[in-house]
Amino acid sequence: MRSRWFAPVLAALAALVLFLPSLWYSWTFDDVHLLTPPSETETRSLTDVWSSSYWPASTQGLFRPLTSTTFWVEGRTHAPFALRHGVNVLLHAAVTALLVLVLLDLRCPPWAAGLAGRLFAVHPVHVEAGAGLVGRSELLAALFTLLAVRAGCGTPRRRTLLAVTVLSFLAASSKEWTWALPVFLVAARLARGMTWQPSLLLASGVGVGLHLVLRRMVLGGWLNSPDAVIPVMDNPLVLSVGLDRFRDGLAVTGLVFRQLAFPWVQSPDVTGQSITLPGSWADPRVLLALAGLGALAWGSWHLRKPKNDPGRRALALGSAWALAGILLLTNLLLTLGVIFADRLLYWPSLAGCLLLGGLLTLAASRVPRWGLLGAGLALAVAYTVQSAAYLPAWANDRALFAHAVETTPRSQRAWYNFGRYLQAENNTEGALRAFHTAAALDSTFGDAHLQRALSLMQIGRHADALDALRQARQTLARTPHLDLTEATLLLESGHPETAAPLLEQVLQREPDWFEAAYNLGRARADLGDPEAAAVAWA
């Protein structure tokens, strides 16, 4: 019994040590939209959390109430960032330990299970999920999925069925890919030489189904909200159709296989023009995806009649879990809110390490164990070095956005976010350069043109700001705020005759807007009508 726990504990310790520096990190990027800072108090009730979408004011159709609940508890208790990061670190360590236990359940030797677990613990693609606070959804989903699967591999007693139902519901309430949990459970039972047990399959289906019913009540749709919109910049696959869409999805899947095996370049923002879509079926990424999917399908096929061989069972289970996870998380079959992100690879990498544990077990009969251990530990060291080098990028927004524009210089979103950070730091010149780069990469990026206009306005270049604002208005919806900004620029540029009618339109929609009334008075005064100016200022 002692040796059984030694391997998972060592693997979990590797995860804890690697992510320990994140306890001193702040929050980054999307955290600001979902978390309440320690200095403020969470004002929502728990009922509000379970009856609203995951992403505030979003049309992406996300509903992850369990993940939101953990953020709510931290907001209510004013938990410091160190504690919040600590939760993520502990969750990743727990998932790592459970992965090793799954391999041991399949009778893989502790050295092979432990080595696969250590590779998972330090894999570079996990930095985003482990160090980014909103990555917690991946960690919770994997944790409850593994717990549900291990519970479902027991005897189908009433207590077991209840546990599988509850754990499946909690998993589904953490992240959407867990809707495939019944498939994961059946594959695990077959890999262990068990029957698939309809009652256990039904229990996991009921847990996921309860979540979907609640999701339908909150969002208005079973799989998505009716008004769900995916921006082209975040996922250009929304423009692909038919066979071209399938080919483009394969190209993204090929990137997933490459990143899982060779994770040497990472960025927190892979949007816009960072990924070019293929123009041919002979694209290397497409060919890699077809080869990888074929290999996983071949490995999964062995679940039909698993041999009494731990290595083959682990290989078959890892293949099945990886195949299901990749089909759900790589934009091959579904169009996700983002085209690619390291955090989406958390479950596929877990399945890949499970598969690797099976390969190590099989290879032990042909290759000296010391050779396998040496090669595996060398890879673990390389992964650790890469992860440790990337981890500081998640310390704060400054580090994160600077890393993003360095690693994905063709992402207009990365440059835009970097500019917004510099703007908040009153680095107007730096922000202006970032917005100019974002707009140059995508001339239809209205927000980049708008922020460029505001930065130019701030340093007194009103004519240039007016040109930038007019470019922004070609793609942005007309709003009173945009009208006021344009009117202000017209006024500062010496065109009160054009500014006045625009300001009158703003006041028709927002009659109590002091700034608009004040500028209208200025415009009328410049036009030589002091009485009309006095009326506006009254």
Q: What percent of the chain has pLDDT over 90?
A: 66
Specify the higher pLDDT residue, 513 or 414.
414
Can you give the pLDDT at residue 420? Answer: 92
Q: Is the pLDDT of residue 204 over 70?
A: yes
Averaged pLDDT score across all residues of the chain: 91
Can you give the pLDDT at residue 472? Answer: 87
DSSP character at residue 36: -
Residue 26 to residue 38: CA distance in whole angstroms: 11
Q: Is the pLDDT of residue 225 over 80?
A: no
Please report which confidence band the pLDDT of residue 58 belongs to, taking 50, 70 and 90 as the band edges.
Answer: low
Rounded to an integer, the average pLDDT of 399-415 is 94
Q: Is the pLDDT of residue 509 over 60?
A: yes
Q: Is the dihedral of CA 177, 183, 189, 192 positive or negative?
A: negative
Can you give the pLDDT at residue 60? Answer: 64
Other C-beta atoms lying within 10 Å of the C-beta of residue 404: 24
CA distances to 8, 117, 121 from 12, in Å:
6, 8, 7
Comparing 170-184, 196-210, 341-355, 487-501, the range with the smallest average pLDDT is 487-501
Can you give the pLDDT at residue 510? Answer: 85
Comparing 62-66, 177-181, 336-340, the range with the smallest average pLDDT is 336-340
Backbone φ and ψ of 13, nearest 5°: -65, -35
Q: Is the pLDDT of residue 303 over 60?
A: yes
The 10s digit of each residue's pLDDT in 409-466 is 999 999 999 999 999 899 999 999 999 999 999 989 999 998 998 899 888 888 888 8
Please report which confidence band the pLDDT of residue 2 belongs to, taking 50, 70 and 90 as the band edges.
Answer: low
The residues, ordered by sequence, that sit 6+ positions from 72 with a Cβ below 8 Å of its Cβ are 42, 44, 46, 49
The 10s digit of each residue's pLDDT in 75-107 is 999 999 999 999 999 999 999 999 999 999 999
Alpha helix locations (H) across 393-513? 397-407, 412-424, 428-441, 446-458, 462-472, 480-492, 496-509
Can you give the pLDDT at residue 430? Answer: 94
Can you give the pLDDT at residue 59? Answer: 54
Specify the higher pLDDT residue, 534 or 121.
121
Half-sphere CA count of 78, side-chain side, radius 13 A: 3
Can you give the pLDDT at residue 491? Answer: 85
Please report which confidence band the pLDDT of residue 263 belongs to, taking 50, 70 and 90 as the band edges.
Answer: very high
The 10s digit of each residue's pLDDT in 308-336 is 889 999 999 999 999 999 998 889 988 88
Q: What percent of the chain has pLDDT over 70?
A: 98
Backbone φ and ψ of 134, nearest 5°: -70, -10
Q: Describe the chain by its helix, strand, coil percentages, rounded to 5.
A: 70, 0, 30
